[in-house]
Amino acid sequence: MRFSWIAISALLAFSGCAQKGTFDLFKMDETHERAVEQLRTDAIVLSLETKAIISSLYLNHTDPATYHEGENFIVAVYFEKDDKSYKSRDLESDGYKLTLNGKKATLIEPLGEKDPRRSLIPIQNNWNRFYFVQFNSELNSSLALQLEKNQTGSVVLNYQK
C-alpha cells in the first residue's frame, strides 16, 4: 500500500511537467542559425604565444538575398597585445595579409561599433577588430580564407559555396 501511494505521488508530480525543454527558450531565427553554422575560428600561434585570432562568417550562405555578388565575409580579428592600442591596429598596416584562394580582397572595410552588419556575426566583444571583406566571385566550390604574416605564420578557414 505504501509503495502504491509513492508511485501515484510520483506519477502525479511528473505528469504536470511541461512538454517544452530548456533549449526551446533559445530559439534562433533562420539567419542567426546559418550564421552560427558558417562561423569559423582559428589562431596564429608562435612559440606557444597567440599572435592573432581570426573568426569569419561567410555571408553568401548566411544572407543570400543581400550578399550574392562576389564572395562576402565579416571578419573579426584579435591581435596580440603590444604597445599599440587595439583600436589603432589594422590588418594591412601590421603586415597581415588576408586572401581568398590566394587572391587579394577587392574591399576591406572596417566596421564601427554601431554598424548593423556587426550583429550578423555571433561574436560581440570590444577587443576584436571587425571588417566587411569582399572578394571577386570564385568559380571554385571550396573557399580558403587565409590570414598570414610572414614573421608569425598563417591560418586557413575553409568554406564550401
Nearest to 121 by CA among 86, 69, 80, 77: 77
Q: Who contacts 114 (Cβ-Cβ below 8 Å, separation ≥6)?
A: none
* Residue extents of the structural domains in the chain: 24-160
Q: What is the pTM of this model?
A: 0.75
Per-residue pLDDT of the chain (161 residues; tens, 9 = 90+): 556 777 676 666 666 655 665 556 566 677 777 778 888 999 988 888 888 899 999 988 888 888 888 999 999 998 876 555 555 556 776 778 999 999 999 999 999 888 888 888 888 888 888 999 999 999 888 999 999 988 778 899 999 98
